[in-house]
Amino acid sequence: MPSDAPARTIRVTPRYLERDGRPWFPVTGEVHYSRIPRERWSEVLGHARAGGLDSVATYVFWQAHEPAPGDFRWDGDLDLRAFVETAGRHGLDVVVRLGPWAHGEARYGGFPDWLVERGLRTRTNDPEYLRLVRAFYAQTIAQLSGLAHAEGGPVVGAQLDNELYDQPDHLATLRDLAEELGLRVPVWTATGWGGAQVPPTLLPVYSAYADGFWEDSDTEWPAFSPVHFRYSTVRDDLGVGADLREALDGITLDDGAGPGAADDDHPYVTCELGGGMHVAYHRRPLVTPDDVAALALAKIGSGSVWQGYYMYAGGTQRVGPHGTEQESHATGYPNDVPTRTYDFGAPVGEHGQVRRHHHLLRRQHLWLRADGAALAAMTTTVGGGSDDPAELRWSVRSDGRRGYVFVTTYQPARSPLPPQPGVRVAVELDDATVAVPTRPVDLPAGVSVAWPVRYPLGEGLVLRSATAQVLTRIDVGPDGRGAGRDLVVLVATEGVPVELVVEGDGEVSAAGPVASRGDDGATVLDLVGGPGPDTVISVRGPSGGVDVLVLDEATADRLYRLDVGGRERLVLSDTPVHAHDGALVVHTEHPTVTVSVLPAPESLAVAEGTDAEGAAVAPGADGTLWRSWTLSVPAAGRRRVATDLRPHAPAPPEPACGGPMGRLSAPTDWSGAVRVRLDVPADALAGVDRALLRVAWTGDVGRAVVHRAADTVVVGDHFWHGRDWDLDLTPWRDDVARDGLTLELLPWRAATGVWVDPSVRDVPDGIAVAAADVVRVARVVLTPGA
């Protein structure tokens, strides 16, 4: 649990949030406890914290907790209190999305069937509806007793309902009701997109997605998407949730309506920056890690003061008393989504897979942790806001004394931007104009940068500008309490020469791989040679000095800042890691892993009780700064169980359409499916923390079934969209070892009209299984020596 005194404060100002009297730049990721096995919560939350998040948000799905009237359940995977406590132990705050209606691609938006069947005027101040909401809220708030921020706990905020556009009085009533029942949190929010009418007692929060499954199958690229890859002070997006507004609420915004302008009364807060994208049967986007990272940085450059991701960790749709609990045509919704998987292509996948955008986003989050307080208080100036691809897209965030220059040449592959030659931005500060960089630089296509302006290095030194981005800064002295030297870590952008412009209170000198020159009273340091883990520049002035480490992007993607052995350290790892109780927890599918630490502990040892058979650690090759260890994990790796299968697939039936918008419906008749039995040896499943089945295939829809006793259980499903299909076999090890696993597959037929990304669209009709591998993921705990 956080140890701050209960007197600590969080306050919402018109421009940013404050925490303990200082500007605060939160970073939040959506994690649904009820869709993740309880035994995996700590791992997922550990990855979230290691990814630079300081908080998580979570839906409380009414249908999961009250499946029958008055029958409330808070046990097992539904133990909200235990989830919040676990988040607190990982140093994470929590925003509870209370509902009553949630959406989240849940059946009836999370409403229980029995509530829907009563025909009440839900999501209004109807007295009977509010009576039922009161009972649900009372139960939920009881679970949070003692866990609110004012009580020393991690719960800092609550969201009321979701995507409710025209009932501001009801939203205000929900807050009144929650407070009457005892919930005391400093931040109360409601979603503000779609032109929502949010009452003054709630903070409007916004969204931005690179693509949307909710668009029609003939939409090649949603109109809202390109807007989110350029800088803009516009916060709203009328495209998100437009299908539900029209189909369920009967709200259609005028064609000429556009997103609302900047809001001077509230800070720019996001809660749903797309961490990936779900798929529907009719439309199956393929959002890339680079898309996610570029969109997130564009929002910081547009003035966001709270980065909130949906989803940060995927999960699995629940099975309730009425079957699977996903939204569908059968329940009156516009889209058929998968019945089980809710992977969302998130930074952390449905089964704990850590993906590339976890690393790309962590770079941004480490920067926000290091300098977010200053950035939050900076105002935003936007340039190049048109849709002309040839125009330079830039923005500046500044407080008049210092700031950041944002420039982008990134847009998704369907409409890429060209490179920008001769980039140089004049930054107007209170006392001077700073040209960044000192000499124009060519910016390659497909990059986004945030360059510092007058960044304080300490010891009387100021980084007037740089063509490398701030990553973090850390005391690497012997005790980590300022007794040693400060290390500022920057990351270079591939294809952009690194220039550091340093000002001091006297003569400035530098040692390291740089060439020096003068510019308007400053010292310009041009990096000679490439950036990397040992590229250190020692900068000195009359009052002292600081070391600057300039990393390449590949190394930056491996960098973590973790509390290991009682102090914060930088960790370079080839595989996902997080910290827990002072130890370093490694998750690997590779038999050999290199871990480097700065400042280094005396030793690293494999903890007793590690379940990775044969795991061992030994000193590795040390660098100039880092001390390295080589971890041997023979239990990790892959085992192929099938390859190059091309089963004959009978022609599927003619596609059906359904739902209120007449979209393509997912098949429900599996009688004609091709059945591929996979025999998996028991030893391929044993001896590791997690055994995943990774299927590289093409087709239309697939599901995986296992046999347990007399039952046939669907353990996962997949709407093919170009990404491999992962299944967690760990809970079914004995069943799969005994009886195998069966993939039931339906064939792809382009003429059906399902939309998939152009990059994967050119596949033949039918079914092809290129490979099926058991991915053996080992978990190793490394304890540091003194």
**DSSP secondary structure of 441-487:** EEEPTT-EEEEEEEEEEETTEEEEEESEEEEEEEE-SSSSSSSS-EE
Q: What is the pTM of this model?
A: 0.96
Q: Which residue's entry shows tokens 């299968």?
A: 645
For the beta carbon of residue 252, count every other beta carbon within 10 angstroms.
10
| Cα–Cα distances in angstroms (integers) from residue 668 to residues 330, 712, 746, in the given order | 11, 16, 11
CA-nearest of 204, 216, 211 to 228 is 211
DSSP assignment of 484-527 equals S-EEEEEEEPTTS--EEEEE-SS--EEESSEEEEEETTEEEEEE
Give the pairing of strands 393-398 and 403-408.
Answer: antiparallel
Distance in angstroms (rounded) separating the CA atoms of residues 729 and 750:
31
pLDDT of residue 261: 55
In our burial notation (b when 16+ CB lie closer than 10 A, e otherwise), range 537-562 reads bebbbeeebbbbbbbbbebbbbbbbb
Count of CA atoms in the C-beta half-sphere (13 A) of 214:
22
Distance in angstroms (rounded) separating the CA atoms of residues 124 and 449:
45
H or E stretch covering 296: helix 289-301
Distance in angstroms (rounded) separating the CA atoms of residues 768 and 745:
10
Backbone angles phi, psi at 63, to 5 degrees: -60, -30
Does residue 487 have a pLDDT over 80? Answer: yes
| Cα–Cα distances in angstroms (integers) from residue 137 to residues 128, 573, 738, 766, in the given order | 14, 43, 45, 49
For the beta carbon of residue 714, count every other beta carbon within 10 angstroms.
15
Q: Do residues 674 and 744 touch, judged by C-beta distance below 8 A?
A: yes
For the beta carbon of residue 78, count every other beta carbon within 10 angstroms.
19
Predicted confidence band at 1 (pLDDT cuts at 50, 70, 90)?
very low
Does residue 3 have a pLDDT over 50? Answer: no
Distance in angstroms (rounded) separating the CA atoms of residues 92 and 156:
10
Does residue 705 have a pLDDT over 70? Answer: yes
Beta bridge partners of 711: 708
pLDDT of residue 247: 66
pLDDT of residue 250: 66
pLDDT of residue 710: 85
CA 373 to chain CA centroid, Å, is 21
Q: List the end-to-end C-alpha distance of the chain, in Å, as a whole number.
A: 25
Predicted confidence band at 278 (pLDDT cuts at 50, 70, 90)?
very high
3-state helix, strand, coil split of the chain in percent (to 5) is 20, 35, 45
Count of CA atoms in the C-beta half-sphere (13 A) of 341:
28
- In this structure, what token pair is assigned to residue 86? 């676990």
For the chain, the maximum distance between any two Cα atoms, rounded to a whole number of angstroms, is: 81
H or E stretch covering 502: strand 499-503
Identify residue 184 by its one-letter amino acid code.
R
Q: Which residues contact 619 (CB under 8 A, 6 or more apart)?
A: 627, 628, 629, 630
Distance in angstroms (rounded) separating the CA atoms of residues 144 and 419:
51
pLDDT of residue 262: 66
> Mean pLDDT throughout 534-560?
96
Predicted confidence band at 335 (pLDDT cuts at 50, 70, 90)?
very high
Task: Tell me which DSSP letter residue 179 carries.
Answer: H
Handedness of CA 630, 631, 632, 634 (dihedral sign): negative
- Give counts: helices (H), strands (E), the chain: 12, 50
Q: What proportion of the chain, given as a percentage, has pLDDT over 90?
A: 88
- In this structure, what token pair is assigned to residue 436? 């960044």
pLDDT of residue 439: 97
Q: Per residue in 163-193, pLDDT tens?
A: 999 999 999 999 999 999 999 999 999 999 9
Q: Per residue in 297-326, pLDDT tens?
A: 999 999 999 999 999 999 999 999 999 999
Q: Per residue in 22-78, pLDDT tens?
A: 999 999 999 999 999 999 999 999 999 999 999 999 999 999 999 999 999 999 999
Task: Tell me which DSSP letter residue 430 carries.
Answer: S
Backbone angles phi, psi at 523, to 5 degrees: -105, 125
Distance in angstroms (rounded) separating the CA atoms of residues 229 and 237:
13
CA 250 to chain CA centroid, Å, is 32
E runs forming strands in 384-458: 393-398, 403-408, 420-428, 433-443, 448-458
Does residue 117 have a pLDDT over 80? Answer: yes
Q: Per residue in 410-431, pLDDT tens?
A: 999 999 999 999 999 999 999 9
Does residue 4 have a pLDDT over 50? Answer: no
For the beta carbon of residue 263, count every other beta carbon within 10 angstroms.
16
Distance in angstroms (rounded) separating the CA atoms of residues 102 and 84:
19
Distance in angstroms (rounded) separating the CA atoms of residues 782 and 631:
9
pLDDT of residue 614: 79
Distance in angstroms (rounded) separating the CA atoms of residues 739 and 680:
9
Query: In residues, how long is the chain?
Result: 786
> Mean pLDDT throughout 114-122?
98
pLDDT of residue 384: 83
Distance in angstroms (rounded) separating the CA atoms of residues 442 and 465:
16
Q: Per residue in 211-241, pLDDT tens?
A: 999 999 999 999 999 999 999 999 998 888 7
Predicted confidence band at 369 (pLDDT cuts at 50, 70, 90)?
very high
Beta bridge partners of 323: 320
Q: Do residues 690 and 351 touch, judged by C-beta distance below 8 A?
A: yes
Distance in angstroms (rounded) separating the CA atoms of residues 284 and 57:
25
Task: Tell me which DSSP letter residue 71 carries.
Answer: B
Residue 638 class from Cβ within 10 Å (0-12 exposed, 13-18 middle, 19+ buried)?
middle
- In this structure, what token pair is assigned to residue 18? 């404050």
Q: Do residues 189 and 159 touch, judged by C-beta distance below 8 A?
A: yes
> Mean pLDDT throughout 252-258?
44
Does residue 623 have a pLDDT over 50? Answer: yes
Does residue 243 have a pLDDT over 80? Answer: no
CA-nearest of 160, 53, 35 to 105 is 35
Distance in angstroms (rounded) separating the CA atoms of residues 689 and 684:
12
Q: Do residues 726 and 711 touch, judged by C-beta distance below 8 A?
A: no
Least confident of 263-272, 481-490, 752-761: 481-490
Count of CA atoms in the C-beta half-sphere (13 A) of 593:
32
| Cα–Cα distances in angstroms (integers) from residue 43 to residues 92, 248, 577, in the given order | 13, 37, 10
pLDDT of residue 731: 97
Distance in angstroms (rounded) separating the CA atoms of residues 666 and 664:
7
Distance in angstroms (rounded) separating the CA atoms of residues 168 and 489:
46
> Mean pLDDT throughout 379-395?
91
- In this structure, what token pair is assigned to residue 764? 């033949």
> Mean pLDDT throughout 572-591?
96
Three-class DSSP category at 732? helix
Count of CA atoms in the C-beta half-sphere (13 A) of 354:
27
Distance in angstroms (rounded) separating the CA atoms of residues 449 and 407:
5
pLDDT of residue 251: 63
Give the pairing of strands 514-519 and 522-527.
Answer: antiparallel
Distance in angstroms (rounded) separating the CA atoms of residues 614 and 242:
54
CA-nearest of 289, 265, 261 to 277 is 289
- In this structure, what token pair is assigned to residue 378? 């900076």
Q: Which residue's entry shows tokens 């029942």?
A: 181
